[in-house]
Amino acid sequence: MEWTNMRVSKTRGRKPYTGSNPVPTAEMAAKPTSQLTISGAIVYKDYGGKRKFLIVKQNEDSEWEIPKVTVRRGESSVRAALRMTGEIAGMSTTVLEEAGRSSGATVVNGKSMPVKYYYYLLVQRAGGEMFGFARFEWLEFGGALKKISLKKEKEMLKSAKVVLKDWEKARKIK
């Protein structure tokens, strides 16, 4: 199956992106950021007749999670997800759809800072050596759901499964 020439809807029936990933301007670059943006990559592959999802441990003491990366200044959350899968996970992927969004807060240098999370559904096109994570596993949906500990991430994985089903139905795949 060839994914390279397919268009990707980033809005899935919602209003188009209007400011979530704006084109950087000189004024924006001069302002200190008061919000942290994180991009999550819900990566799947079809292997041996089974659909498997990637989960990772950032370090040996951490919990299993969906791979995530901090979005750099001037970078879109989509580009950050692709950067992470390419540079950190060592694989070639294609973004299919946005799987969901959430928000929260974290503490940076003793100050509370808002965090926006953008999760994308990606399909693995080619894989290499994964060297950016302490551990990784490719698991079927149920196994991945059991291993992920954060409720928010479990919900994003469920959302991604629905998005993928709708995406395939719209393109009459499987």
Q: What is the pLDDT of residues 20-65, one digit of tens each?
A: 444 444 444 444 558 899 999 999 999 888 999 999 998 889 999 9
Tell me which architecture the domain covering 26-170 has in CATH: Alpha-Beta Complex (3.90)
The pTM of the full predicted model, rounded to 2 decimals, is 0.78
Q: What is the pLDDT of residues 118-168, one digit of tens each?
A: 999 999 998 767 778 889 999 999 999 999 999 999 999 999 999 999 999
pLDDT of residue 4: 42
* Residue 128: Cβ-neighbour burial (10 angstroms; 0-12, 13-18, 19+): exposed
25 vs 101: which has the higher pLDDT: 101
Rg (CA), the chain: 16
pLDDT band at 16 (very low <50, low <70, confident <90, very high): very low
pLDDT band at 88 (very low <50, low <70, confident <90, very high): confident
pLDDT band at 80 (very low <50, low <70, confident <90, very high): very high
Tokens linked to 111: 């100050």
pLDDT of residue 15: 40
The DSSP output letter for 127 is E
